[in-house]
Chains A and B, each alone.
Chain A
C-alpha cells in the first residue's frame, strides 16, 4: 500500500501540472482533457492523503498526521468562513462615491436649465449588462446623476432600457446605441440628442448632459456666420493647430446654427438672419466696402466676435490704408495694439496664463471695475471665472481713451503682472525679445466687450437693441487643440450667450471629469524630477548615516 500511496501522490502532481499545461496551450478551460486531468489529480491527491493516515505505523506518526489533518481542516474551515463572509459583503453591492463629483450638487448652469424646463424631456438610459463591475458602476453613476437632476424639475422623465434584452422597444422608440458602455438619449417633442458615454471616463459628463438639455429644450436657434476670405480659420478643418472644427462643434452642441460667409467684394452684405458674426483670426485686413457692410450690420444692432492674432491687420506697407482696427476704435472704442505680449522670466515665453489668483487690482481705465486676477469680476462674461486660460501669442486689446458717448466698452481679460507688450515685431521674429522701458508692462488688457446704442436708430425708435462686440487679441484658444480646455470653452460660450442676450446660458459650466491645465515651467519640471527621484533618496541616506554615527558615538 505504501507504494500505491507514492504512486497516487505522483499521479496527483503530474495530472494537475498536465491540466494546467493543456489549459495554457489550448487557452480553453472547459475542455475534456483539462477537466478530466484535474478530476484525476484531485482524486489521486485525496487517496494519497487517506493512505498516509492509514499507513501511519506508530502512535507518534499517527499523532503527527492527525495534527496535520487538524491543521488542514482548520485552514479549510477558516478559508470557507472568509469566502462566505466576503460573498455576503459582496452581495450588498453598496458603494460610497466620496469624490467631489459623487458628493457635489449640480452646477449652477445645469440647475438653471433644469428649472427652466416647460416641456417634458425623456432621458432614455441605454445600458447593456456586461456582468462586470465597470458597466454596473457606470449605470449606477448615471442613474444617480439623473435622479439628482429630477429633484430640480418635474419635467425630466427617466427610462432605463437594456438594448440587448429590449431590442423591439429600441426599434419602436427609434433609438440607437452610441457607445458600448452606455448611451443616454434626451428627447423632447421631435428633438433628440444622443450622449455617448466615453469609455475613458465611463460616466455621463454633466457638461454633455447640460448641453444636450439646452439643445432639445431650446426654442430659438441663433444663427452664427463665420467670416471667410481673410485667412480666417476654417470651421471644417480638423487640424489641431490651424483648424476650428471643434469650435464649430461646440457651438452646434449648444444649438447654434452655423454658416460660413464670404462677403461679395463688389456688394458685400451681412445676411439679415445673422445673429452673431465671427471673424476667427483674420490674417488680412478687411476692405473698405466690407467695413461699410459690417458697420451697417452693427448700426442695426448686429453682434460680433473678433479674434485677432498678432499678424492680423498690421500690413500697412505700400501706403495702404488700414480699416478694421480704426473702425473698431471709432465705433466701439476698442484699441487693438500692434505688438506681441510676452511673459517675462529667464526665458521669455509667448504663453500667457490668465489666472484669477494673482490678487485683485483696479482697472486703471475704469477705476470702479474690480479685476479678479486676469478676469473682470463684474462683466457677465467673466464674473464667475476662477479657471485658468492660456493664450499663446496674444496682442493688446484695450478700451480706447476716447470712447464715444453711446458706447460702453469694458476690458474683460488681462495678462498677469510679469508680462510686457513687445512692440518690435521684427526683433520678435528673430527671437531676440527683451523688455524695453518704453513698452507697456502687465497686467495688459487682451479682450474688450463693448456695446453701442446707435443714436440715430435709437432716436427714431426703429431699433431698440444695442450693437455688441467682443474683441480678443488672440485666437489660439479656439483652435482644435485648445478649445477643449474647460476655461476656453466657458469663455467662448459665455461670450456667445452675452452676444445673443441669453443671460441664463452665462455660467460656469459643469466641468465633468476634467481639470485645469497644470503649467510647469522647465525649472519646475527639473525641481519635481530632482526632489522625487534624488532628493528623497538622499534624505533617506542622510538619516541612515546620522543613525549610524549616533549609534557609534553612543557605543
Chain B
C-alpha cells in the first residue's frame, strides 16, 4: 500500500508542478462555472415568474436545477477526463521512463492503482471546484442534503468510471494525443450509441418480426443486446442518484465498470511480458 501511495503522490504532484493540472482545473472551473451561472440565474428567475417559464408552480430547486447541474458536471468529464488520463501510462512509454519505473521494486498493481488513485485525486480537486460553485447556492437558499451529497457522489463515480477507461486506453498507447483522442472517441461513441439505443423497440414489440423458429434464440439475444446498449452511457446511472435516490444497481454499475477497466489495464500492462 505504501508503494501504491508513493506512486500516487508522485503522479499527483506531477500534475501540479507543471501547468497541466492548472489548465485542467481551470478549464473545468470555467465550463462548470458558466453552466452554473446560466442555469442558476435562469432557475431563480423561473421561481419568481413560473408561468413565464412554462411552469405551473415554483419549480423545485433540486429537480430542476441541482440534479441536472450535477449530472452536467459528471458529463463534463467526457471532455476533461482524457486530459487527465492521457499522460498516466502513455507519457511514461513515450518518454521511456516506464522502464525506469519498472526497475523499481514495484508490482504491476502498485503502479496501476497508484496512477489510478492519482487521477482520482485530480477528480477530487475538480469536485472542490463544483463545491465552490455550490457554496454560492447555499448562501441564497436551502438545499436538500441528500441530493447534494448523493449528487456529488454521482459526479465522482461517473468521473472514476471515465478515468478507469481512460487509464486502460493510456496503457495501450505510446502517444498522449492518441490516448486522449481515442479515450474521448470511445466515451463519445458509448454516449451516442447508448442514447440511440433508447429508440430500439422493446422485446414485446418485435416478437412478430422474428420467425417462430428463431424466437427461442433471437429473443433472449435481442433482450441482452438491448439491455447492454442501454447501459453504455456512463452518466445513465447518475441521474437517479443525483435526485437523492440511492439504488444498489447504480452503485454496482459504477464499481463493476471501474473494476472491469482496471482489470483490462492489468491485462494490457502485462502484455509487455509476453510480447517482447
Bound CA–CA A528/B141 (angstroms): 13
Say whether A524 faces chain B, with CB atoms less than 8 Å apart.
Answer: yes
**Complex interface: stretch among B89-97, B98-106, B114-122, B238-246:** B238-246
A131 in contact with B202 (CB, 8 Å): yes
Asked if A519 is at the interface (CB within 8 A of a chain B CB), the reply is yes
- B60 contacts A82, C-beta separation under 8 Å: no
Is the C-beta of A362 less than 8 angstroms from some C-beta in chain B?
Answer: no
Q: Is the CB of B245 within 8 A of A102?
A: yes
Chain B neighbourhood of A390, CB < 8 A:
48
Answer yes or no: A25 CB below 8 A from chain B CBs: no
Report whether A514 and B140 are in contact in the complex, using a CB–CB cutoff of 8 Å. Answer: no
Task: Tell me the smallest distance from the CB of A124 to a CB of chain B, in Å.
Answer: 24
Within 8 A of B (CB), among A477-492: 480-482, 484-486
Do B61 and A536 touch across chains, with their CB atoms under 8 A apart? no
Asked whether A515 and B61 contact (CB < 8 A) given A75-B264, A99-B146, A544-B22, the answer is: yes
Contact A99/B62 with A67-B274, A86-B256, A524-B140 known, Cβ cut-off 8 Å: yes
Of A85, A96, A551, which is within 8 A of B246 by CB?
Answer: A96
For A512, list chain B residues within 8 Å (CB).
Answer: 57
The answer for the CA separation of A83 and B132 in the assembled complex, in Å, is: 37
A29 at the A/B interface (Cβ < 8 Å)?
yes
Interface of chain B residues 108 through 133 with chain A (CB within 8 A)? 129, 132-133
For B, the interface residue count at a CB cutoff of 8 angstroms equals 72
Q: Does A541 contact B (CB under 8 A)?
A: yes
Contact, CB under 8 Å: A513 / B63: yes
Interface residues of A in 60-107 (CB under 8 A from B): 63-64, 67, 71, 74-75, 78-79, 82-83, 85-86, 89-90, 92-100, 102-103
Query: Which listed residue, A89, A520, A544, touches B140 by the CB 8 Å rule?
Result: A520
Closest to B135 in A: A531
Measured between alpha carbons, how far is A528 from B199 in the docked complex, in Å?
39
Residues of A within 8 A of B22 (CB): 540-541, 543-544
Tell whether, in the assembled complex, residue B222 and residue A517 are in contact, meaning their CB atoms are under 8 Å apart. no
* Bound Cα distance from A198 to B63, whole angstroms: 13
- The B17-42 residues at the A interface (CB cut-off 8 A) are 17, 19, 21-22, 25-26, 29-30, 33-34, 36-37, 40-41
A63 to B271, alpha carbons, bound, how many Å? 12
A residues 446-503 in Cβ contact with B at 8 Å: 480-482, 484-486
Q: Mark B31-72, 1 if CB is under 8 A from A, else 0.
A: 001101100110111011111100111111111000000000
Stretch at the interface among B4-12, B159-167, B247-255: B247-255
A479, closest chain B residue (CB): B51
B249-A532 in contact (CB<8A): no
Residues of B within 8 A of A90 (CB): 249, 252
A75 near B263: Cβ-Cβ < 8 Å: yes
Chain A residue numbers with a CB within 8 Å of B240 are: 95, 133
Query: Which of A496-555 touch B at CB < 8 Å?
Result: 512-520, 524-525, 527-529, 531-534, 536-537, 540-541, 543-544, 547, 551
Chain B contacts of A525 at CB under 8 A? 41, 44
Asked if A516 and B141 sit within 8 Å, CB to CB, the answer is yes
What B residues does A520 contact at CB under 8 A?
41, 44-45, 140
A264 CB within 8 Å of chain B: no
Q: Is A30 engaged at the interface, CB distance under 8 Å to the other chain?
A: yes
Interface residues of A: mostly helix, strand, loop or mixed?
A: helix
Report whether B51 and A99 are in contact in the complex, using a CB–CB cutoff of 8 Å. no
- B-side contacts of A79, CB under 8 Å: 260
Q: Is the CB of A63 within 8 A of B274?
A: yes
Contact status A516-B37, CB under 8 Å: no
Given A102-B244, A485-B50, check contact A515 B267 (CB 8 Å): no
Contact between B41 and A519 (Cβ–Cβ < 8 Å)?
Answer: no
Contact indicator B43/A518 (Cβ below 8 Å): yes
B185 contacts chain A at the CB level, 8 A cutoff = no
A529 touches B37 (CB 8 A): yes
A85 touches B30 (CB 8 A): no
Give Cα A214–Cα B88 distance, bound, in whole angstroms: 63
Residue of A nearest to B252 (CB): A89
A228-265 CB mask vs B (1 if < 8 Å, else 0) is 00000000000010000000000000000000000000
Does A201 have its Cβ within 8 Å of any Cβ on chain B? Answer: yes
A485 / chain B contacts, CB cutoff of 8 Å: 50, 57-58
Q: Report whether A517 and B29 are in contact in the complex, using a CB–CB cutoff of 8 Å.
A: no
Neighbouring A residues of B107 by C-beta, 8 Å: none
Does the CB pair B57–A98 fall under 8 Å?
no
Cβ contacts B175-201/A at 8 Å (1 or 0 each)? 000000000000000000000000110
> What's the dominant secondary structure at chain B's contact region?
helix
Residues of A within 8 A of B25 (CB): 540
Q: A100 vs B63: C-alpha distance in the bound complex, in angstroms?
A: 13
Choose among A198, A524, A531 the residue with the greatest number of B CB atoms under 10 Å from its CB. A531
B150 at the interface (CB under 8 A from A): yes
Q: In the docked arrangement, what's the CA distance between A528 and B44, Å?
A: 12
Contacts of A99 in B (CB 8 A): 62, 144, 146-147, 243-245
User: Which of B33, B206, B228 is in CB contact (< 8 Å) with A533?
Assistant: B33
The reply to whether A515 and B60 form a contact with Cβ atoms under 8 Å apart is yes
What's the least CB distance linking A140 to chain B, in Å?
A: 10
- Can you name the residue of chain B whose Cβ is closest to the Cβ of A94? B248
| Closest partner residue, chain A, to B203 (CB atom) | A131
Check if B245 sits within 8 Å of A89, measured CB to CB.
no
**Are B264 and A537 touching (Cβ within 8 A)?**
no
Q: In the assembly, what is the distance between CA of A30 and CA of B209, in Å?
A: 8
Q: How far is the CB of A205 from chain B (nearest CB, A)?
A: 9
Contact of B41 among A78, A100, A528, A534 (CB under 8 A): A528
Chain A residues near B63: list those with CB within 8 A. Answer: 201, 513
Alpha-carbon distance A531/B34, docked complex (angstroms): 10
Q: What's the minimum C-beta distance from B249 to chain A, rounded to whole angstroms? A: 4
CB atoms of A532 and B33 under 8 A apart: yes
Is the beta-carbon distance between A82 and B256 smaller than 8 angstroms? yes
A89 to B249, CA, bound (A): 6
Residues of A within 8 A of B55 (CB): 200, 484
Complex-state Cα separation, A115 to B12, whole angstroms: 61
B202 partner residues in chain A, CB cutoff 8 A? 131
A372 to chain B, nearest CB (A): 17
A93 and B274 CA atoms in complex are apart in Å by 44
Asked if B14 is an interface residue, CB under 8 A from chain A, the answer is no
Nearest chain A CB to B29 CB, angstrom units: 5
CB-defined contacts of B44 to chain A, threshold 8 Å: 518-520, 525
CA distance A82 to B255 in the complex (A): 10
Give bound CA distance, A513 to B41, whole Å. 19
CA distance A244 to B245 in the complex (A): 38
Find the residue from A89, A93, A94 having the highest chain B CB count within 10 A. A89
Closest 4 CB pairs of A and B: A99-B244, A98-B146, A544-B22, A532-B33
| 14 A-B contacts (beta carbon < 8 Å) | A82-B260, A86-B256, A97-B245, A99-B244, A99-B245, A201-B63, A484-B55, A485-B50, A485-B58, A513-B60, A518-B48, A518-B141, A529-B41, A532-B136
Residue positions of B touching A, CB distance < 8 A: 16-17, 19, 21-22, 25-26, 29-30, 33-34, 36-37, 40-41, 43-45, 47-52, 55-63, 129, 132-133, 136, 140-141, 144, 146-147, 150, 199-200, 202, 204, 206, 209-210, 222, 228, 240, 243-249, 252-253, 256-257, 259-260, 263-264, 267, 271, 274-275
Known: A481-B49, A537-B26. 12 other contacts (CB 8 A): A63-B274, A86-B253, A98-B146, A98-B245, A98-B246, A99-B144, A137-B245, A198-B56, A482-B49, A485-B50, A514-B58, A536-B129
